[in-house]
Amino acid sequence: MADPDGFELDPRLAADTRRVGDLPLSRVLLMDDARFPWLLLVPRRAGRVELDDLPRAERITLLDEIDLATRALRALVAPDKLNVATLGNVVAQLHVHVIARFRADAAWPRPVWGVGERVPYAPVEATKRIARLRDHLGLS
Amino acid sequence: MADPDGFELDPRLAADTRRVGDLPLSRVLLMDDARFPWLLLVPRRAGRVELDDLPRAERITLLDEIDLATRALRALVAPDKLNVATLGNVVAQLHVHVIARFRADAAWPRPVWGVGERVPYAPVEATKRIARLRDHLGLS
């Protein structure tokens, strides 16, 4: 479904994730990888690639939504560390990774990208996690 | 040299970088790796690890300094993509990577961390690059 702005989620992002919901600026996605509690924030604006493709006011909104995502992950899983990044080397559409990391996780201390194979959630686990995320993001 | 706040740069960050200068919030460092034009921003506040260890006003200042670093790198090297990230799995002291990426670089399209061995700049190249960065960051 296109937003008024003409935003459409990149199909590669859609393929690897489950939709959590929409914050004022960003679509929130859960990476469908049970190894890492991992959110993506995708500003619902067409054609944005770099952070500074957003006007400053929207960058600040994105910063606040990163903060909200951070707090939601912390409330859910009490991580040892948060990783926050916008890379976009493979999928250009502007998206921010917010990842809860643990000293015992499958990639620690390396970054998570490109490590092993994605392990999709069991459907019931995904549904449960998304419901709890929606609570913590104020989307319920 | 300790800042009034008691900030001291983590020695592991110091060992891999050259100092560019201080913005209002962050110390700017050039990763001493000629393969990737790569800046680090380190907020000069003691004991900060996660983004939300900074109060919101300082997070916004950091966002503006990321923007300045982005524009400086773009003016210097015209990258294909910018990568911006705060990970901190190895060095906990809060630091933000701002990295100019090229489709022909040594890691593309992967992230740069952990790829091969760092290639230090020739001293004259480092000096020249830092001088140009200082110009573009308004530090000259």
Domain borders along chain B are: 11-137
In the predicted structure, residue B4 carries a pLDDT above the cut 80: no
In this complex, is the C-beta atom of B57 within 8 Å of any C-beta atom belonging to chain A?
Answer: no
Write out the CATH class of domain A11-137.
Answer: alpha beta
A71 to B52: CB separation less than 8 angstroms, yes or no = yes
**Phi, then psi, of A101 in degrees rounded to 5:** -115, 150
- The conformational region for residue B26 under phi > 0 = left, psi -120 to 50 = alpha, else beta, is beta
Q: Residue A81: its pLDDT value, please?
A: 98
pLDDT number for residue A5: 76
Comparing CA positions, the residue from A100, A94, A109 lying closest to residue A70 is A100
**What is the amino acid identity at position B69?**
A
**A58 membership: H or E segment, kind and range:** helix A56-77
Task: Give the minimum alpha-carbon distance from B2 to chain A in angstroms, rounded to a whole number.
Answer: 26
On whether ipTM exceeds 0.90, the answer is yes
Chain A residues lying within 8 Å of B90, measured CB to CB: 109
Q: What is the pLDDT of residues A26-36, one digit of tens each?
A: 999 999 999 99
Span A82-111, mean pLDDT?
98
For residue A75, CA distances in Å to A71, A137, B119 come to: 6, 10, 41
A1-5, A7-11, A12-16, B112-116: which has the minimum mean pLDDT? Answer: A1-5
What is the reported pLDDT for B2? 56
pLDDT for the residue numbered B140: 86
Say how many CA atoms lie within 13 Å of B20 toward its Cβ: 32
* Section A107-127 average pLDDT: 96
How would residue A2 be classed by pLDDT, with cut points 50, 70 and 90? low
The whole-number pLDDT of residue B134 equals: 98
pLDDT confidence of residue A140: 87
Band of pLDDT at residue A1, cut at 50, 70 and 90: low
Q: What is the dihedral of CA A108, A111, A113, A114, to 10 degrees?
A: -60
A106 touches chain B (CB under 8 A): no
B85 to A89: CB separation less than 8 angstroms, yes or no: no
A75 in contact with chain B, both atoms CB, cutoff 8 A: no
Mean pLDDT of B86-105: 98
B110 interfaces chain A, CB cutoff of 8 Å: yes
**Closest CA relative to residue B31, chosen from B8, B59, B58, B12:** B12
| Separation in Å, CA of A71 to nearest CA in chain B | 9
Q: How confident is the model at residue B69 (pLDDT cuts 50, 70, 90)?
A: very high
